[in-house]
Amino acid sequence: MIDRLAPPSQRRAYGSGGINRVTSPWRANIVPYASILIGSLIPFWVMTDVMPLAPPIGFIIFLSWRLMRPGLFPLWIGVPLGAFDDLFSGQPFGSAILLWSVTMIGIELVETRFPWRGFWQDWFTAGLVILIYIFASMLTSGATITPHMLIATIPQLLLALLVYPLFARIVAWLDRFRLSRSRRIG
Amino acid sequence: MAQPSSRRSGFSKKQQYSVFTGYLLASLGAILGLALLALSLWQPAALQPLRGGANDVSATIGEAPATARAGGNNTWDTIKAYWQAGSQNADLRREVEVARIRLAEAQAVEAENRRLKALLGLAEENVEPVVYSRLVGSSSTSARRFAYLGVGSAAGVEIGMPVHSERGVIGRVLETSRASSRVLLLTDSESVLPVRRASDQTVAFAEGRGDGLLRIRLINLGLNPLEIGDVFVTSGAGGYYRPGVAVAVLSEITSDGGIAQLIAEPSATNYVVVEPVHETLAVEASEVRDGEALSEAGLGEEPVNRPENASTGD
């Protein structure tokens, strides 16, 4: 019996690197999570005192991975990743755990109805999810919501919507790096 | 792209169970998140150690971007000044701005002195700062406005201590851990600060609006005496802040007060000072419920030298 050359490094039926090339399982499994964790950390170091401005980078990267590679993440992954995001976002602990889990479930449910997708549809989906996410995290932040605050969110919202294609490209590049050949056989 | 076929459960009992388990775990995770959210909104201090430990690490790393940010600000100022009128321009302008604030503060101190002399003739003591530090991070995605300091309880920072920059008030320490602490900025929608007009005794509350401006709400309603350009300083009420530190400049007049802009913008500061709580006794007194007496031990420590400070809690 022929053994498998490498353990399956992704939960999908195709794209394992091809004949004669093996992906590094460590790299294939770590890159998506590491990119999300780093994305969660970045807004911590951005200094904004006036209004929320930085897009939720961790969430956008998470969303990009989810939309590009359905089935890569287990459904419960929102809990650990959200918990890490909560440590640095300034939101009350638990807010991202809730919202990221709900995002995973929601996308999973909707996706089974629309199996075929394209870039524009992805952008639309991501935009909608980001919009809901930003307003929902405003609700869970414990702040008193004022009309001024809603107006002050508009720049952050627009930035987050416009920056999604960029992160989708970055994630696509990371995915290529993740699955690129690590050693040659034979 | 279409879903990979492995995720369609079909007739496989095993697949069906694993899909079901996935949904179950995710739903449990969402419920866990909801419970934690409720807990941290109800008892904000409960999960603080967890976050504090994480922030200790990120605040240490944050020193580098903070240094870069300060350097970047300076470079940009210099370039801007050269473009306009030579490289001194930025420095001079900054100096004039600080001098203008100092002048307003001096007026406030003068008024304060006159009032105190009229009362008891008490001398204003020199405040020894607890520690100097940088603001290393902020909650830049959240609707709340927090900043993070690179020092914590190991350096003597305690909850409630006011944080000042060289221009004026930044905010108040909300949480501390060993090597970092979280500061509630003035612009946060939950921040309320008792202030008074620098030129006289018009007292008001400065409330954060959540969009970078402060709402000045006068305590004595009636004819609105405010004018655009009025400088507001801390009144010292509530006991956290020492009186006479610059807070905001009025930019718009409303029926019950006005809208004011910050004097000390956290993103434009290099170093901040953490000062001790001004009137520990007043803060303790504001935490005592109605009908209870202040403990004798608390009263013995320090004489009550400003009776009006205990009146308002913030």
- pLDDT at position B288 is 62
pTM, entire model:
0.78
Shortest Cα distance from A109 to chain B (angstroms)?
10
pLDDT tens for A162-173 read 999 999 999 999
More confident residue, B253 or A10: B253
**% of chain A exceeding 70 in pLDDT:** 86
Cβ-defined contact of A137 to B142 (cutoff 8 Å): yes
- pLDDT at position A145 is 84
Indicate the residue of A47, A86, A93 with minimum beta-carbon distance to B138: A47
More confident residue, B304 or B184: B184
Looking at chain A, which residue has its C-alpha nearest residue B148? A44
Beta bridge partners of B72: none
| Band of residue B220 on the pLDDT scale cut at 50, 70, 90 | confident
Q: Kindly list the domain boundaries of chain A, sorted by start residue.
A: 20-178
CA B33 vs CA A76, A162, B40: distances in Å? 12, 29, 10
Cβ-defined contact of B30 to A48 (cutoff 8 Å): no
- Across B243-259, average pLDDT: 88
Cβ-defined contact of A49 to B145 (cutoff 8 Å): yes
Shortest Cα distance from B64 to chain A (angstroms)?
9
- Residue A92 DSSP class: P
| Band of residue B304 on the pLDDT scale cut at 50, 70, 90 | very low
Taking phi first (over 0 means left), then psi (-120 to 50 degrees means alpha), and beta for anything else, what does residue B121 get?
A: left
Shortest Cα distance from A30 to chain B (angstroms)?
21
- pLDDT at position A12 is 44
- Please report the beta strands in chain A, taking only residues with DSSP state E, as ranges in sequence order: 21-23, 181-184
Q: Which of A8-12, B65-69, B92-96 has the highest mean pLDDT?
A: B92-96
DSSP annotation string for chain B: -PPPGGG--TT-HHHHHHHHHHHHHHHHHHHHHHHHHHHHHH-TTTTHHHHHHHHHHHHHHHHHHHHHHHHHHHHHHHHHHHHHH-THHHHHHHHHHHHHHHHHHHHHHHHHHHHHHHHT-PPPPPPPPSEEE-EEEE--SSSS-EEEES--GGGT--TT-EEE-SSSEEEEEEEE-SS-EEEEETTSTT-EEEEEESSS--EEEEEE-SSSEEEEEESS-SS----TT-EEEE--TTSSSPTT-EEEEEEEEETTEEEEEESS-GGG-S-EEE---S-HHHHHHHHSPTTPPPPHHHHHHS----GGGGS---
| Band of residue A84 on the pLDDT scale cut at 50, 70, 90 | very high
Indicate the residue of B2, B34, B213 with minimum beta-carbon distance to A116: B2
Q: Which of B7-11, B86-90, B265-269, B301-305 has the highest mean pLDDT?
A: B265-269
Cβ-defined contact of B137 to A47 (cutoff 8 Å): yes
Q: Which residues of B touch A96 (CB under 8 A)?
A: 33
Shortest Cα distance from A74 to chain B (angstroms)?
7
- Give the C-alpha separation, B156 to B286, whole Å: 23
- Across B27-56, average pLDDT: 85
- pLDDT at position B259 is 92
Cβ-defined contact of B141 to A56 (cutoff 8 Å): yes
Cβ-defined contact of A49 to B35 (cutoff 8 Å): no
pLDDT at A20 over 70: no
Looking at chain A, which residue has its C-alpha nearest residue B50? A87
pLDDT tens for B90-106 read 778 888 888 888 888 88
Cβ-defined contact of B141 to A138 (cutoff 8 Å): no
Cβ-defined contact of A95 to B28 (cutoff 8 Å): no
Indicate the residue of A71, A86, A88 with minimum beta-carbon distance to B4: A71
Q: Which of A7-11, A126-130, B160-164 shows the lowest per-residue confidence on average (mean pLDDT)?
A: A7-11
On average, the pLDDT of chain A sits at: 84
- pLDDT at position A157 is 93
Q: Which residues of A touch B29 (CB under 8 A)?
A: 76, 78-79, 97, 101
Indicate the residue of B6, B37, B211 with minimum beta-carbon distance to A92: B37
pLDDT tens for A116-148 read 778 898 999 999 999 999 999 999 988 888 888
- pLDDT at position B73 is 65
- Across B261-271, average pLDDT: 82
pLDDT at A45 over 80: yes
Q: Which residues of A touch B63 (CB under 8 A)?
A: none
